[in-house]
Amino acid sequence: MKFKFPIKPGFNPRDLVRRCGYGEWYDPAFKVTSYTKKMGGGNYPRFHVHLQEFSGYFEVDLHFDQKQESYAGTSKHAGEYDGELVEDEARRITSVVAEAYGMTA
């Protein structure tokens, strides 16, 4: 699920997603930084966010990883890209960002 927020002066998308409880995660295989929020003691299940900045706004690409990839060399996993669980987390992120911006969600 993708959704957008305006970029406001004094706020950094990375810091905003960390305020939502996400930790930075670097994937050495793909050489990308993303953000995860673990749902238990292990690495899975977890919410997973990729951020992309554009002129005047940033995009949050959110999904829920059920488990790690099943096959070596692939990025296939049991992930949810929509549905109630992902929608609830998107609303929570939106609420945290709105509160940080001094707005109501």
- How far is Cα of residue 28 from the mean position of the Cα atoms in its chain? 18
Per-residue model confidence (pLDDT) at position 42 = 87
Q: Taking residues 53-60, what's their average pLDDT?
A: 97
Top-confidence residue, 67 or 99: 99
* Alpha-carbon gap, residue 79 to 48, rounded angstroms: 10
Hey, what's the torsion of the CAs at 83, 84, 89, 91, to 10 degrees?
A: 100
Q: Is there a contact between 27 and 34 (Cβ–Cβ < 8 Å)?
A: yes
DSSP 18: H
Evaluate if residue 2 carries a pLDDT over 90.
Answer: yes
3-class DSSP state of 36:
strand
Per-residue model confidence (pLDDT) at position 13 = 97
Evaluate if residue 76 carries a pLDDT over 80.
Answer: no
User: For the chain, how big is the Rg over CA atoms in Å?
Assistant: 14
Evaluate if residue 78 carries a pLDDT over 80.
Answer: no
